[in-house]
Amino acid sequence: MADSIKTLLIVVLLGAVVALVGVTSNGCSRSKTRQIDVSQGEYYSEDELLEMSDRKKSAYCQTLQGELTTTQEEFDGKTRELQETKDLTRALRAKIGPIEREVLQLESDIRSLNDLIEEVKALPKTYKVKDGDSLSYISSRPEIYNDIEKWWRIFEANQDKIDDPFYVFPDTTLVIPRDWPTD
């Protein structure tokens, strides 16, 4: 968008400069019969200007001055529009920066959580009781719950294998619940 505005401004300015150079270098003199449209970028040649009457030269000069004024107004308007667009772009960039940082942080958090989920999925779902083990000792192991207080989860999941929560037979394979506790 900015390139097309620049191109338009250059074309308009070149037309105005050509018109202005034509007026200042060629002056206004006798008339010729060819009709031109200054607003379309058409101008009289030096020879045509020399053949023009003073009245036609004056009218042509006024037309050129009008076109120059119109072109200058258009240029000023496009310059303002360009500045407004730049200001808007700056404002949007100011909004985008913090959001991009948030998105990057969230992506990092998601990766960390996915890694943690994979670690949890890799934890054992069963445990074979060894001589001297208790439910509290088993639940305190890092690969189980790393929390001595969660022994009751193991007991509840294995009531078909455990009669007394304070004594567990060696070589018993216990189920280790991996669902999230409700309390």
pLDDT of residue 39: 84
Indicate the SS3 state at residue 181: coil
pLDDT tens for each residue of 160-183: 999 999 999 999 999 999 886 555
Average pLDDT, rounded, for the chain? 86
pLDDT band at 76 (very low <50, low <70, confident <90, very high): very high
For the chain, give me the number of helices (H) and strands (E)?
5, 2
Higher pLDDT, 14 or 152: 152
Query: Which residues, in sequence order, are CB contacts of 171 under 8 Å at separation 6+?
Result: 128, 129
CA distances from 71 to 82, 136, 138 (A): 16, 88, 86
Share of the chain above pLDDT 70, in %: 80
Give the model's confidence band at 30: pLDDT under 50 very low, under 70 low, under 90 confident, else very high: very low
Compute the distance between CA of residue 180 and CA of residue 142 in angstroms, rounded to an integer.
Answer: 17
Q: Is the pTM of this model over 0.75?
A: no
Q: What pLDDT score was predicted for residue 4?
A: 63
Q: What is the distance of C-alpha 134 from the center of its chain?
A: 57
User: Please, is 182 exposed, middle or buried when counting C-beta atoms within 10 Å of its C-beta (0-12, 13-18, 19+)?
Assistant: exposed
pLDDT in tens, 5-26: 666 656 555 665 555 555 444 4
Q: Which one, of 39, 38, 35, 37, lies nearest residue 48 by Cα?
A: 35
Rg (CA), the chain: 43
pLDDT digits (tens, 9 = 90+) for 106-120: 999 999 999 988 988
Give the angle 171-180-149 at the CA atoms, nearest 5°.
60
pLDDT at 64 (0 to 100) = 93
Q: In this structure, what are the phi and psi dihedrals at residue 141, rounded to the nearest 5 degrees?
A: -65, 140
